[in-house]
Chains A and B, each alone.
Chain A
């Protein structure tokens, strides 16, 4: 169904990507972000070459200093001559669909380093959802030969949790002085944290925040094999991020030795597959039915309380074995 011109272009770009070509990598990331049809062709060529990179997710509330921590982590990793890919997800987008992506500002000292590839990602236009787009971007960076991939995202909503939840090690960055705010972020974020960072640790409230996190961890009814360490950093002054990297490596070692890494990656692939399948089901089964005038009429009827929402759903997607026919 595609013309061979597009197939040929994608094939050439994919070959170049696998040789580490940065221009091709930039191009292909746009292609997977924009165009659902080529994704399959790209993944078929690229997927066998992935699974080599170690993926570290960094999340936390706005203003925690995530981008600065990432910037410092890049420095630490480059000193060990590791090649670093970064996916900086910034879901803040006004209603126009436009966005200003500014995470790079903190990382520009690495812009011209051939061992670093940084890509910013906004929220719009991802047919399969932001998490899938970020995950696929990480796969492309993996395939082009990056050793470590850092995925940064604001940890506020479910989709952002999914993004960093797909990492091998998830680091939660928390600013000092959140007080009861640590309680507020407990739901969801505490569960995915493998490592905590209290950034801006020179702030008077920092020790209080460390104590709050420790308290929350203690309340966990079933202490896991891995108790998330709390690392203090002052990323703007190059403090603590070397220690953070040592802790991440220790976590990696734990995951590898316990077999947990294999289990995690398997669950990640499963979620990815289910996610892709859901998008396709929605597009093929649900969307055509939602675009009809009958559906519009049923919404009106439901709004006027003539029928209830469940009755509408029963007509759109009947509860029977041949549903979706």
Chain B
């Protein structure tokens, strides 16, 4: 049977050079047994989605501190739809106001973590919402 190997792509999108947080989360996910593909800084939505398709990840985790979240998240969601890849979950983290969090969730972003969220919470969320659906969906 399948190994239940869950892959998560972690990326920094747009003009935002702060990668400390995304690296901490990437390490936490690795330590929890996930396979993390880290793509680095300044990614365009096109790069992120194409990499996600090639790597066949179960989820995309996007770190955003630039304020461009209302542009970049919807763009990623629509590119995923174009590529027949809406089963790839999108979650994110960053300085994102509550109102925007609600709007993004309504658009289809699975979860947003705002400052103060612990890596334990994030790992647990990925385990429940990505890990299990990924395994049962195979």
- Please, which residue of chain A has its CB at the minimum distance from the CB of B32? A98
Contact B54–A22 (Cβ < 8 Å): yes
A29 interface hit (Cβ, 8 Å): yes
Distance A100 CA – B19 CA, assembled complex (angstroms): 15
B2 contacts A34, CB within 8 Å?
yes
Give a binary string over B46-57; 1 marks a CB under 8 Å from any A CB, 0 the rest.
111011011110
A97 to B53, CA, bound (A): 23
Given contacts A26-B54, A27-B56, A98 and B47 within 8 Å (CB-CB): no
Q: Are A124 and B3 in contact (CB under 8 A)?
A: yes
Q: A39: which B residues are within 8 A, CB to CB?
A: none
Looking at the assembled complex, report how far the CB atom of B29 sits from the nearest CB atom of chain A, in whole angstroms: 7
Instruction: Tally the A-B contacts, defined by beta carbons under 8 Å.
Output: 95
Select from chain A the residue with minimum beta-carbon distance to B48. Answer: A111
| CB-based contact A29/B40 at 8 Å | no
Q: Which residues of A contact B44 (CB under 8 A)?
A: 112
Chain B residues with Cβ under 8 A from A120's Cβ?
37, 55
One digit per residue, 1 when the CB lies within 8 angstroms of any chain B CB and 0 when it does not, for chain A 57-99 equals 0000000000000000000000000000000000000101111
Task: Give Cα A27 to B34, complex, Å.
Answer: 18
Main secondary structure of the interface of B (DSSP, over half): mixed
Q: Do residues B32 and A29 form an inter-chain contact, with CB atoms below 8 A?
A: no
Most B-side CB within 10 Å, residue of A23, A33, A108: A108
Q: Tell whether, in the assembled complex, residue B56 and residue A29 are in contact, meaning their CB atoms are under 8 Å apart.
A: yes
Contact of A23 among B29, B39, B48, B83 (CB under 8 A): B83
Q: A-facing mask of B83-121, CB < 8 A → 1, else 0?
A: 111000000000000000000000000000000000000
Residue of A23, A33, A35, A96 touching B53 (CB-CB under 8 A): A23
Evaluate contact between B47 and A108: CB separation under 8 angstroms: yes
Task: Name the residue on B nearest A101 (C-beta).
Answer: B37
Q: Judging by beta carbons under 8 Å apart, are B38 and A102 in contact?
A: yes
Query: Knowing A34-B2, A34-B5, A108-B40 touch, does A119 contact B55 (C-beta < 8 A)?
Result: yes
Residues of B within 8 A of A (CB-CB), count: 34
Quick check: A125 and B47 within 8 Å, CB to CB? no
Please give the distance in Å from B82's CB to the nearest CB on chain A: 11
Contact B83 A35 (CB under 8 A): no
Residues of chain B within 8 A of A98, CB atoms compared: 29-36
Q: Name the interface residues of B29-82: CB closer than 8 Å to any CB of A.
A: 29-40, 43-44, 46-48, 50-51, 53-56
- Whether the Cβ atoms of A105 and B38 lie closer than 8 Å is yes
- Which of A22, A25, A96, A108 contacts B33 (CB under 8 A)? A96
Q: Which residue of A lies closest to B83 (CB)?
A: A23
Q: What are the residues of chain A within 8 A of B85 when measuring CB–CB?
A: 23
Contact at B30–A94, with CB atoms within 8 Å?
yes
Central interface residue in B26, B37, B43, by most chain A CB within 10 Å: B37
With an 8 A cutoff between CB atoms, is A252 at the interface?
no
Task: Identify the closest chain A residue to B45 (Cβ).
Answer: A112
- Chain A residue with Cβ nearest B26: A100
B30 and A105 contact, CB distance less than 8 A: no
Contacts of A100 in B (CB 8 A): 26-27, 30, 36, 38
A contact residues vs B (CB 8 Å cutoff): 22-23, 25-27, 29-30, 33-35, 94, 96-102, 104-105, 108, 111-112, 117-120, 122, 124-125
What would 19 A/B residue contacts be, using CB atoms closer than 8 Å? A23-B53, A23-B84, A27-B56, A29-B56, A30-B5, A30-B56, A94-B31, A98-B35, A100-B27, A101-B38, A102-B37, A102-B40, A104-B37, A105-B40, A108-B51, A117-B54, A122-B35, A125-B3, A125-B5
Closest 10 CB pairs of A and B: A26-B56, A125-B3, A98-B30, A105-B40, A111-B47, A112-B46, A98-B33, A30-B56, A34-B2, A96-B33
